[in-house]
Amino acid sequence: MSVLFAAFRRTKRTVPARPAPGAPLAKVTDLRVRLGGREVLAGIDLTVCAGEVLALVGPNGAGKSTLLAALSADLPADSGEVRIDGRPVGGWPAPELALRRAVLPQSAALAFPFPVEDVVRMGRAPWAGTEQAGSDEEAVAAAMAATEVTGFAARPFSALSGGERARVALARVLAQRAPLLLLDEPTAALDLRHQELVLRICRERAASGDGVVVVLHDLGLAAAYADRVAVLHDGRIAADGPPAEAFEDELLSRVYRQPVEVLPHPRTGAPLVVPVRDGEPGKPGAERSGVRNGHLGLTSA
């Protein structure tokens, strides 16, 4: 790991200023990405602002992870533009880009049995040689405490359960303290308690002025914690706005090819997305969703 830190120390970097509230941290314009001969993203326009949690939702294969990878500069665009901190992502040297965005991939794997604390400390590598390097110990300790992994700091990463690994990987991202967090399905391997914990962390980071983009499959979590949701469908954004506006039963039924109804939570008013299941022909909202004898269709106004 000392080699990793030394590589960053040798590179001169410009430490970014803290973003102003509401400032655009990332901007995607007419983004198109092709993979395996298929257009996976088709003309995406999206802006991520400081102080917000933006959830990317949609069915499998809709383009959520591809969009996150393009945002992080891990996947090149075929056309269009991705900017981070006002500059095209390709114009940032990797060490400076690492000061501006932190990325959590879908799965975390390490070839060597590093202790958990060392894995989290890897998130501090971009700050080596800067004036922020002195806060390494505090940043690592805070990230481990937030994700509840302090108790097994000395255990090998390879000896952890899937959920524990997911939390350690998130702790590494949090320790990086970049103003833009890009998280790909951070709750997929987690139990109920830790799913809520992760989304509360996202909200706290947004409250502190960071921007958070998180890929989620759980629409209930997205509705409860996101300021905005972008609903992806066939490589396009079908809806973009607050969950209460974007989560509409007819739209979600069409996008997911599963009839649903959207109901307000009885206490918070946040949208609850409930599947309409077989044996519930009289379920309110079925007609609104375009359900006909168990099939999806379009209803006229």
- Cα distance between residue 182 and residue 25, in whole Å: 12
Q: Mean pLDDT across the stretch 29-41?
A: 95
- The percentage of the chain sitting over the pLDDT mark of 90, rounded to a whole number, equals 80
pLDDT at 94 over 60: yes
Average pLDDT, the chain: 90
pLDDT at 279 over 90: no
Q: State the CB neighbour count (10 A cutoff) for residue 219.
A: 24
Which of 71-85, 104-118, 172-186 has the least mean pLDDT?
104-118
Do 72 and 48 meet the contact criterion of CB atoms below 8 Å apart? no
pLDDT of residue 1: 58
Confidence of residue 297 (pLDDT cuts 50, 70, 90): very low
- Cα distance between residue 269 and residue 267, in whole Å: 6
pLDDT of residue 300: 31
CA distances (Å), origin 66, targets 31, 91, 118, 228, 301: 11, 20, 29, 19, 35
Do 169 and 123 meet the contact criterion of CB atoms below 8 Å apart? no
Task: Indicate if the alpha-carbon torsion angle 232, 233, 235, 236 is positive or negative.
Answer: negative
Closest Cα to residue 52, out of 218, 208, 240?
Answer: 208
pLDDT at 48 over 70: yes
pLDDT at 165 over 50: yes
pLDDT of residue 170: 98
Higher local confidence (pLDDT), 299 or 257: 257
pLDDT at 285 over 70: no
Please state which of the four CATH numbers 3.40.50.300, 3.40.640.10, 3.10.450.50, 1.20.1730.10 is assigned to the domain occupying 2-247: 3.40.50.300
Do 90 and 186 meet the contact criterion of CB atoms below 8 Å apart? no
- Classify 249 as helix, strand or coil: helix
Which phi-psi region, left, alpha or beta, contains residue 163 (left: φ > 0; alpha: ψ -120 to 50)? alpha
Question: Where are the domains positioned within the chain?
Answer: 2-247, 248-301
pLDDT at 283 over 80: no
Higher local confidence (pLDDT), 9 or 117: 117
Closest Cα to residue 251, out of 216, 277, 281, 219?
Answer: 219
**In the numeric block, which tokens belong to residue 111?**
């070839």
Confidence of residue 5 (pLDDT cuts 50, 70, 90): low
- Cα distance between residue 68 and residue 40, in whole Å: 12
- Span 211-253, pLDDT tens digits: 999 999 999 999 999 999 999 999 999 999 999 999 999 999 9
Q: Where are the alpha helices (DSSP H) in 19-160?
A: 64-71, 94-100, 116-121, 136-146
Q: Mean pLDDT across the stretch 137-148?
A: 97
Q: Mean pLDDT across the stretch 152-177?
A: 96
pLDDT of residue 198: 98
pLDDT at 288 over 50: no
pLDDT of residue 128: 92
Q: N- to C-terminal Cα distance for the chain?
A: 62
pLDDT of residue 110: 80
190-200 core/surface letters (b: 16 or more CB in 10 A; e: else): beeebbebbbe
